[in-house]
Amino acid sequence: MIRRGIPAVAAALALALGGCGDDGGGEPELEAGGAFIPEPVTADMAGGFLTVTNTGDADDTLVSVTSDLTGTVEFHETVDNAMHQVESLPIPAGGELSLGRGGTHLMLIDLSRKPTEGETVSLQLHFETSDPITLDVPVEAATHTGE
């Protein structure tokens, strides 16, 4: 629900703020927050969750994420209880990109170690337009949902 909802909301917000998102000029203004990694079961993989808000007046795109924990961070959308990798994730002007449990998430693969609750993991978010954002992301309990 959330996964489907946000783009629609974002689109509507973009609309309200001045058109259908494909406006010329202006710049994205990004802020990332609410990030967490639930303690994974093994070092094989972990999920990552965060929100990127765009208060600017141009769209941006999350194109990659790098981490001190692994060289492989993928974007996965959840569709009908199955995950599908996507290349990038849109952050519409005046909207947000929300990665939450049960929806779109980061998938960190082949970790160099199994992070445990209380640690922090460094994630660097790379965008099409904006400068990278580096986050110290807390490792939360496996049951953490961010809600």
The answer to whether residues 91 and 1 touch, using CB atoms and an 8 Å cutoff, is: no
Euclidean distance between the first and the last CA atom of the chain, given in angstroms as a whole number? 15
Of 47 and 138, CB closest to another protein: 47
Q: CB of residue 92 vs another protein: minimum separation in angstroms?
A: 11
3 CB contacts (<8 Å, ≥6 apart)? 77, 78, 100, 102, 103, 104
Q: CB of residue 131 vs another protein: minimum separation in angstroms?
A: 27
Q: CB of residue 19 vs another protein: minimum separation in angstroms?
A: 9
User: What is the DSSP secondary structure assignment for residue 128, as one 8-state letter?
Assistant: S
Residue pointed to by tokens 């209880």: 81
Q: Six-digit token pair at 101?
A: 């449990």
Q: CB of residue 147 vs another protein: minimum separation in angstroms?
A: 7
Residues of the shown chain interacting with another protein in the complex, contacts defined by CB under 8 A: 1-9, 11-13, 15, 20-21, 38, 40-42, 44-47, 76-85, 101-102, 105, 107-108, 141-143, 145, 147
Of 25 and 143, CB closest to another protein: 143
Of 13 and 63, CB closest to another protein: 13
Amino acid at 124: Q
